[in-house]
Amino acid sequence: MPTLGSPKNTIEIIQKYHFMFQKKYGQNFLIDTHVLDKIVRAAEVTKEDCVLEIGPGIGTMTQYLAENAGHVVAVEIDPNLIPILEETLADYGNVTLMNADILKVDIGEIAREYGGGRPLKVVANLPYYITTPIIMNLLEGSAPVGNITVMVQKEVADRMQTGPGGKEYGALSLAVQYYAEPYLVANVPPNCFIPRPAVGSAVIRLRKLPRPAVEVRDPELMFKLIRASFNQRRKTLANGLGNAAELTFPKEKIAEAIAACGLEPAVRGETLTLEQFARLADTLAD
């Protein structure tokens, strides 16, 4: 089987199987070997590792991973791609193929069965409509995950790694940075894919932290505060929290807590750091 990654080989295998791209799965296949190399290097894949690949497509990245990893478990939701993957991965004895929805898969079981319980390295090319649920499932879940190297919409990658004050900064930035250290690996233009997506993409690596980035007594409360403050970005923090349906603190209590944290009464939520949100949550919990 020729190595995929070139436009010619990708088009040949798509035509051979009369494969029809499914818009609902956001399918765009990578055809740039330089980007593939960057992803494998950024994921720091070694022969000691079990890699979980989400959305292998026709197996382009899977081939690269199989050359470098101890074992690869590739989870593909589209049943029409399974016969193609069985052909393109036939030469690799260290690949396990699963036709499943990653949000319904027991990732801990994969780590135990194929990775000896060691932290998995996750590699994925994620369609934008489901990026956040998959990332948060990996970060919040109890399964051992070392790092997550994903291709996402560029705007989403920017959101994950940005700090306070910018227009991209929001609840996703804080959620990702609570659990992981983000690093932008590469920007990837539309012409690196078949078919070409309408927007630019980026590869981002999230190195999962051994413990969350800040200590907070009630993380659930902290994330309620974060969501409430970004739901109404143009309002002050006090108004955003005071109007939030999922919070029940009186407005005076909110104003007191904001003052106790050394913040101005008219401060906006988008200027607060993760540490400041944690402190605000602890103050309100008191």
* pLDDT tens, residue by residue, 70-83: 999 999 999 999 99
Summarize the chain as % helix, strand, coil (round to 5): 45, 20, 35
Per-residue pLDDT reduced to its tens digit, 216-273: 999 999 999 999 999 887 889 999 999 998 999 999 999 999 999 999 999 999 999 9
Give the pLDDT score at 117.
79
Report which of residues 57 and 21 the model is more confident about: 57
Q: Around Cβ 159, how many Cβ atoms within 10 Å?
A: 23
Give the pLDDT score at 202.
97
The three-state secondary structure class of 242 is helix
Give the pLDDT score at 233.
77
Q: In whole numbers, what is the pLDDT of the chain averaged over residues?
A: 93
Give the pLDDT score at 15.
86
In what helix (H) or strand (E) does residue 180 lie, and over which residues does it extend?
strand 180-188
Give the pLDDT score at 242.
92
Q: Considering only 2-11, 133-142, 144-153, which range has the smallest mean pLDDT?
A: 2-11
Beta bridge partners of 145: 120
Asked if the 219-285 domain carries CATH number 1.10.8.100, the reply is yes
Long-range contacts at 141-144 (CB < 8 A, ≥ 24 apart): 141/107, 141/108, 142/108, 143/106, 143/107, 143/108, 143/110, 143/111, 144/108, 144/111, 144/115, 144/117, 144/118, 144/119, 144/120
- Please state the pTM of the whole predicted model: 0.91
As a CATH number, domain 7-208 is 3.40.50.150
Per-residue pLDDT reduced to its tens digit, 166-184: 889 999 999 999 999 999 9
Q: Considering only 24-28, 99-103, 195-199, which range has the smallest mean pLDDT?
A: 24-28
Domain extents in the chain: 7-208, 219-285
Q: Around Cβ 170, how many Cβ atoms within 10 Å?
A: 19
Binned at pLDDT 50, 70 and 90, residue 25 comes out as confident
Nearest-angstrom CA–CA distance, 135 and 149: 10
Nearest-angstrom CA–CA distance, 226 and 236: 13
Q: Is the pLDDT of residue 1 over 70?
A: no
Binned at pLDDT 50, 70 and 90, residue 282 comes out as very high
Length of the chain: 286
Give the pLDDT score at 227.
95
Identity at 255, one-letter amino acid code: A
